[in-house]
């Protein structure tokens, strides 16, 4: 059974760096074809894909956020991480991590419950 | 980026009715289209992938189809638990993009 759970600071100030952790079970990010993606959703709005990290260490970021995103993983502890630098109020959203697979199956079949992040001074 | 134009933004239907939600891709996405259901306060749940493949555990009243770059989600015999917001997502190319969502209300 695949499960994922996000954790993060809840609230942070503008210009700071947002650090999120996705703790998962039921799969390994060292297994061929496995991936974890990050998606966010401002309250009452749509979904935005942010980044993905794959079993082989490859990462892909949404260019709309330019170079503000960094994704990484700790395979031994079944965790993936997202860092967003220089946050502002537009980064206020619920952030989700989700399981995905390689080979054309780049949809999100399991999602975490989400963590709400507020950027405010 | 591939743009996904989803319609309608909202709709209201009665129990037992059939509704259709559509997504138009700005270019060919070769059937790499997923549909999600999201209820208030919950994370999205995958309904359909590859345009028409039903995710395990999803009721058969949900179905997906395509015609060119137009993709459709049909929900037959609406149940009260189908009240939710539905999103499409292209999983053909980076950056993955979503439709703006369709809020389905039950009369």
Mean pLDDT for the stretch of residues B42-50: 97
* Buried/exposed B70-96: b ≥16 CB within 10 Å, e otherwise: ebbbebbebeeebbbbbbbbbbbebbb
Q: Which of A60, A62, A107 sits opposite B91 (nearest CB)?
A: A107
Cα–Cα dist A92/A29, whole Å: 28
pLDDT tens digits, A17-39 = 999 999 999 999 999 999 999 99
CA pseudo-torsion sign A105, A18, A113, B105: negative
Asked if A106 contacts A53 with a C-beta cutoff of 8 angstroms, the reply is: no
Residues of chain B found within 8 Å of residue A49, distances taken between Cβ atoms: 89, 95-98
- Give the pLDDT score at B3: 98
């Amino acid at each position: 059974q695949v499960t994922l759970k996000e954790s993060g600071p809840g609230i942070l100030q503008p210009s700071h760096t947002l650090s999120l952790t996705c703790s998962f079970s039921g799969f390994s990010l060292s297994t061929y074809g496995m991936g974890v993606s990050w998606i966010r959703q401002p309250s009452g709005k749509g979904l935005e894909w942010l980044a993905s990290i794959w079993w082989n260490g490859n990462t892909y970021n949404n260019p709309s956020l330019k170079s503000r995103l960094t994704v990484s993983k700790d395979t031994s502890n079944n965790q993936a991480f997202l860092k967003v630098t220089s946050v502002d109020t537009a980064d206020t959203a619920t952030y989700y991590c989700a399981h995905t697979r390689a080979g054309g199956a780049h949809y999100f079949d399991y999602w975490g419950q989400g963590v709400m992040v507020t950027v405010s001074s | 980026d591939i743009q996904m134009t989803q319609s309608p933004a909202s709709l209201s239907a009665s129990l037992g009715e059939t509704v259709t939600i559509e997504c138009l891709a700005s270019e060919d996405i070769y059937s790499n289209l997923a549909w999600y259901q999201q209820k208030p306060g919950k994370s999205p749940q995958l309904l359909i992938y590859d345009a028409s493949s039903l995710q395990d555990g999803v009721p058969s009243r949900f179905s997906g189809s395509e015609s060119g770059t137009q993709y459709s989600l049909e929900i037959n015999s609406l149940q009260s638990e189908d009240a939710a917001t539905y999103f499409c997502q292209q999983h053909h190319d980076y950056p993955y993009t979503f439709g703006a969502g369709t809020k389905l209300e039950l009369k």
